[in-house]
Amino acid sequence: MPHALSDLVVHTVSKPVDDPAERLDADILVVGAGIAGLSAAIQARRLGRDVVLVDALPVLGGQCVNSMIGLFCGIYGNAPDYRQLTYGIFGELFEAMEKTNDIHYRRTHTQTVVYDEVALGRWFENIVQELGIRVVLGASVSGVGIEGGVIERVDFATRFGPVSVTARGVVDATGDAALAWEAGLPCQVPDRTVWGSQQIRLEGLDESGNPEPAELVARVDEKAAEYGLVRRDGLAFFFPGRNTAVMNMTHVEAPLGAVEAADAQLRGRAQADRVVKFLRREFPAAFKNAKVQAYGFPGRRQARWLAAAHQLTLDEVREETRFDDAVARTAWPVELHDRVEGYVWETFGPDHVHYVPLRSMLSPQARNLVAAGRCVDGDAAALSSVRVMGPCSAMGLAAAHALDLTLGEDIHQVDLTALRDRVRENVEG
């Protein structure tokens, strides 16, 4: 039978004067769907909790999928043993992506993992759906109801109207502590800009002509002024066999104002275009036919973070301080991007490991909130060494366990023996 187009009826509607919010109730609310938030949501759901996961982007994955970071950092220790320091979701994730040839292990002073962002994003989307985690996307925090240190409600603005979520436990994995800030909790900001990056993925390359890292850095330093490059070094992460690479060669401001942030994004993309021009001319063997396959969303490193019960310090990182409430560890260097032309890169020895305590994830003024990821508390240098994906994932997993153990109670009174038992794999051995 032919389709009757005339059967489609159009209705005229208007927004109601009293437009009610869409209301959701959950055991645990996770705000931020990057590596920390996803790790928290997945673990909480596997513990049997009803979970709502919210992100300001219209897609899952946060920076690890959408900013073209290109590689997992901080999961493994240093050479020569490269021992694994973070587990959690990485076992099943790496196994799945190995089967489709979508990851590649890269060994230098430590082991990092190059990955395909599209495959990673779909893996996250599939597991979130399989577990039945309720998701709200394109949603920015617009208000927080907090009473007596208990976050009772979080409101969000979306293009589809307001959404209000009540939950007994809350994870702030927003990266810039957006939830804690809206709740009126004290936060930290650096005294000068910590620069982010505008990553790009290039295609049409000839990986056989890939310049040595030292040669690339030397040429950038020599020619930066000629090409209008603000950062005087750079990194190229080639994915073997695909003639593609993620380029990390820009420095972009990370302001906390809406107009300034949009302007920084546009200027960052212009920087990236100048990088492509430089690469085509200076390294034609690899980049003569380079074309931008994708521009990542702006990559932000350190902009605003929680003022927690304990601030992790650079001395504690260097001295490998082992806390009684340690929940994450890494051997990643101090990587502080506090100047436009470059950054501090302080590596550690072969057996070095430093830790993140739960206290650096808890506000003294909140009883049911855990921060996870790059909005945990550290001085600027210490934070630069624990804000990468390995420890961020471990923090997300620990946040889920800590809330599961204390739901309806004070997170500061968590049973540390029970918590240590649950996160043992990420802090011992």
- 329-355 pLDDT, tens digit each: 999 999 999 999 999 999 999 999 999
pLDDT, position 429: 81
- Assigned token pair, 7: 């059967």
pLDDT, position 5: 64
User: Could you give the strand order of the β-sheet that contains 235-239, starting from the edge strand earlier in sequence?
Assistant: 235-239, 244-248, 200-203, 291-295
Residue 228: pLDDT band (50, 70, 90) is very high
Percent of all residues in the chain with a pLDDT value above 90, rounded to a whole number: 96
Cβ distance 355 to 322 under 8 Å?
yes
pLDDT, position 2: 63
User: Could you give the strand order of the β-sheet that contains 71-72, starting from the edge strand earlier in sequence?
Assistant: 71-72, 111-115, 103-107
- Identity of the residue numbered 44: A
Q: What is the DSSP string of 399-429?
A: HHHHHHHHTTS-GGG--HHHHHHHHHHHH--
Q: Hey, how many other C-beta atoms are within 10 angstroms of the C-beta on 3?
A: 7
- 16-70 pLDDT, tens digit each: 888 789 999 999 999 999 999 999 999 999 999 999 999 999 999 999 999 999 8
| pTM to 2 decimal places | 0.96
DSSP reduced 3-state for 244: strand
Cβ distance 303 to 176 under 8 Å?
yes
Q: Average pLDDT in the 404-415 region?
A: 97
